[in-house]
């Protein structure tokens, strides 16, 4: 969401661009233009990580307030999906490794999310921003960690350091396993340079009435903190009838 102070800084930045252009400072001009763009259109980035079928896509749909991402009982996210909240109509896109992109139908989008071709870099969903608070929000829904371990390491290195918030999704019934430990250690490594980066631990599909003091929740939280080497913020989500990735 744009603020008065950000817009004022953007105006100052644009004045500075004139000075840099007159001085022929090419590198400074490019950096200044990027800064002004960020100030004019501020963005925030959330990265969702977790094991296969932990419920990440359903949580993203809940955040959007509408079921735009495929979410079934079977694993459905085989590639990174970037959700961008912005003005306009819903739009589904395939972003390829050669920097080309193409529009998709929702059915094509769902198929590629399960079985992505090698040339696909990521899928992109441009969703209408429901409120001013969601404008500029980018959510990266990543593949289940234990489904594509080697490829997921690259995803973590690429997206986590640039995130404003990292959301780690763990299943209540499955508890904390080796894949969870590997994932959180990878998160710790990727974010080691920014210890102030918020990490939220979402324990998903908990039985109704289960609270933070529940023994299993406390066990998952302790193991997560040990793997991250810091305390995540805990969020408990009650079970629903459908599963997803």
* 223-236 b/e (C-beta count within 10 Å ≥ 16 → b): bbbebbeeebebeb
Residues β-bridged to residue 84? 126, 138
Question: Cα separation of 145 and 133, whole Å?
Answer: 30
Backbone φ and ψ of 233, nearest 5°: -85, 130
Q: Residue 187: helix, strand or coil by DSSP? A: helix
pLDDT value at residue 38: 54
Mean pLDDT of 64-79: 68
Q: How confident is the model at residue 133 (pLDDT cuts 50, 70, 90)?
A: low
Q: What is the pLDDT of the chain when averaged over all its residues? A: 79
Q: How confident is the model at residue 123 (pLDDT cuts 50, 70, 90)?
A: very high
Mean pLDDT of 186-202: 88
Token reading at 96: 């390829």
State the Cα angle at 183 between 188 and 67, rounded to 5°: 110
pLDDT value at residue 98: 87
Q: How confident is the model at residue 192 (pLDDT cuts 50, 70, 90)?
A: confident
Closest CA to 52 of 159, 166, 144: 144
Top-confidence residue, 15 or 10: 15
pLDDT value at residue 230: 93
Q: How confident is the model at residue 34 (pLDDT cuts 50, 70, 90)?
A: low
Please provide the CATH number assigned to the domain covering 44-238. Answer: 3.40.50.300
- The ranges assigned to domains in the chain are 4-40, 44-238
pLDDT value at residue 243: 46
CB proximity list for 216: less than 8 A, separation 6 or greater: 172, 175
pLDDT value at residue 229: 93
Q: Which of the residue ranges 16-30, 59-73, 126-140, 221-235 would you say has the lowest mean pLDDT? A: 16-30
Closest CA to 239 of 79, 114, 214: 214
* Structural contact between residues 205 and 239, judged by C-beta atoms closer than 8 angstroms: yes
Question: For tokens 């071709």, what's the residue?
Answer: 117
Question: Cα separation of 234 and 202, whole Å?
Answer: 6
pLDDT value at residue 175: 85
Q: How confident is the model at residue 54 (pLDDT cuts 50, 70, 90)?
A: confident
pLDDT above 90 as % of the chain: 27
Question: Cα separation of 164 and 35, whole Å?
Answer: 17
pTM: 0.75
Q: How many residues are there in the chain?
A: 245
- Give the helix ranges, DSSP H, for the chain: 4-23, 26-40, 56-64, 106-114, 149-159, 178-190, 215-228
């Amino acid at each position: 969401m744009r603020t008065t102070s950000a817009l004022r800084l953007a105006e100052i930045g644009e004045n500075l661009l004139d000075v840099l252009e007159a001085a022929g400072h090419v590198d400074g001009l490019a950096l200044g233009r990027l800064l002004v763009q960020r100030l004019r259109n501020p963005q925030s980035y959330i990265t969702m990580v977790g094991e296969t079928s932990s419920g990440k896509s359903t949580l993203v749909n809940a955040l959007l307030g509408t079921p735009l991402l495929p979410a079934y009982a079977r694993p459905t996210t085989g590639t990174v999906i970037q959700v961008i909240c912005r003005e306009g109509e819903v739009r589904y896109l395939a972003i390829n490794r050669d920097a080309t992109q193409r529009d998709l139908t929702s059915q094509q989008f769902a198929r590629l999310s399960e079985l992505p071709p090698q040339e696909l870099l990521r899928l992109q969903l441009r969703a209408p921003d429901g409120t001013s608070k969601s404008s500029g929000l980018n959510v990266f829904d990543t593949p289940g960690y234990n489904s594509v371990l080697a490829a997921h390491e690259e995803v973590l290195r690429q997206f986590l350091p640039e995130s404003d918030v990292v959301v780690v999704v763990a299943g209540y019934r499955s508890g904390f396993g080796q894949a969870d430990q590997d994932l959180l250690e990878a998160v710790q490594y990727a974010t080691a340079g920014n210890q102030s980066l918020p990490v939220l631990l979402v324990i998903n599909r908990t039985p109704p009435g289960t609270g933070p003091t529940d023994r299993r929740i406390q066990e998952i939280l302790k193991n997560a903190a040990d793997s991250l080497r810091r305390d995540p913020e805990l969020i408990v989500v009650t079970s629903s009838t459908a599963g997803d990735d």
